[in-house]
Amino acid sequence: MSEKKRQFFGTDGIRGTVGQAPITPDFVMKLGWAAGRVFTRGSSCRRKVLIGKDTRVSGYMFESALEAGLAAAGVDSHLLGPMPTPGIAYLTRTFSANAGIVISASHNGFEDNGIKFFCGNGSKLPDAVEIEIEKELEKPMQSVTSRELGKAHRVTDAAGRYIEFCKSTFPNDTSLHGLKMVVDCAHGATYHIAPAVMSELGASVIPLGNKPDGFNINEGFGATAPEALQQAVLAEGADVGIAFDGDGDRLVMVDHTGAVVDGDEITFIIARQRYQRGLLRGAVVGTQMSNLGLERAVRTLGLEFMRAKVGDRYILEMLQANDCVLGGETSGHIICLDLTTTGDGIISALQVFEAMVRSGHGLSVLKAGMSKFPQRLINVRLAERQDVTDIAKIREAITAAERRLGDTGRVLLRPSGTEPLIRVMVEGQDAVLVDELAEGLAEVVERAVNAEGADEGAGKVA
């Protein structure tokens, strides 16, 4: 079924400002009820769903709302407390739960929150299941009888279980002993887990962004604000720095010189390490936004490179469809499908650390095997979401830009999955030309959309 048919679900669950529809307690309670009915349909055993959250203050409210909705559907809730998104996926599998629910707005500020789901096998929901949940939301909410109501259970050892799982993905014959690192947790869900994983594997850890108060998640720290990590790495004379986003599925790194290493470079480092050890199966999967330098570097290794739509769920779909194990986004969502079922910042970091330990090289040397192409991204805001590529002037501008780039670059216009924006991206070898073409295209898009809106308004008045 088409993604356009979904009313509430976006590219990564349901997300928005707390207190504004649909991120309200009453809606989230009904969402829990609807999801509980879908996930346990046809289930003959005791029905249970795991609920985890990040550290934002509204998580308490939505945890209670989901628990009430699930109970009304006759489903038990197992409450994990603050837990990285990939940790919830892992525990959903190991608890043999019907599903896992994550309360998080990922890299957004504390004013926002969201709900996303995992199937019982720990993977993101297919579009068809999200549509089934939305169908249930259209129905009146009705509780099961008192005898059938679900119960709530607090899982007290959730963090310890996930810490041990993360450590199990790091080879027994290697150690992080002697590696000094700064670990930035964005005051988010990894605050009590990532430093412990790295310390227990032997690293000397300097924690950063590890004091959440419900309001400071992602504020000046984490994968989307790496400046604090860069400064700390240089000030501490650390070998490396790692930063996660608020829910722990995204990773950005910093080398000993303070230079940021993004998801494309991380994907390449892991791909080369796996390839050299004969552990890489199939193609490496990126997205439409992945840097052309990653594609060329992967192909230089003799490997195939494939592009999925933007979003880790689409990377996962392509990995599964083509029997591949490694994919990643520029933003730092890296999926190692032979180790886990979803993007996991901690496990991705451990794969890079393995490459560092085995090669004896620092991050700055390992990333040097890939040269990034200059890339410019400009967001053009629209009055409402629409497909602008069917506007003649915009199509002509895209064709002209592609002609000037030739085979040394590319152009991409992509609508945002969460906002009324068109992302104009131009990439090529010549940075000056890239800037010129991106700014020109963005101007064409803005003028064409405004002109079209004015024309439509004039028509309505007439």
**Closest alpha carbon to 249 in 96, 64, 106, 36:** 106
Phi and psi at residue 265, in whole multiples of 5°?
A: -70, -40
Q: Active-site residue among 106, 123, 331, 348?
A: 106
Within a 13 Å sphere around the CA of 81, how many CA atoms are in the beta-carbon half?
Answer: 12
Instruction: List C-alpha distances in Å: 174 to 60, 278, 287, 309.
Output: 40, 18, 32, 36
**Closest alpha carbon to 391 in 444, 322, 328:** 444
* Residue whose structure tokens are 């990564």: 12
Task: Kindly tell me the sign of the dihedral angle through the C-alpha atoms of 385, 394, 414, 380.
Answer: negative
Task: Kindly tell me the sign of the dihedral angle through the C-alpha atoms of 210, 214, 220, 221.
Answer: positive
Helix (H) or strand (E) holding 207: strand 204-208
Residue 317 CA, chain-centre distance (Å), reads 14
Catalytic (active site) residue 106: yes
* Residue whose structure tokens are 């199937």: 119
> For the purposes of burial, counting CB atoms within 10 Å of the CB of 332, is it exposed (0-12), middle (13-18) or buried (19 or more)?
buried
Question: Nearest 5°: CA angle at 201, between 195 and 207?
Answer: 20
Q: How many helices (H) and strands (E) does the chain have?
A: 14, 18
Report d(CA 441, CA 286) in Å as an integer. Answer: 24
The tokens of 285 are what? 């999967």
CA dihedral angle for residue 265, residue 270, residue 275, residue 278, rounded to 10 degrees: 180
Catalytic residues: 106
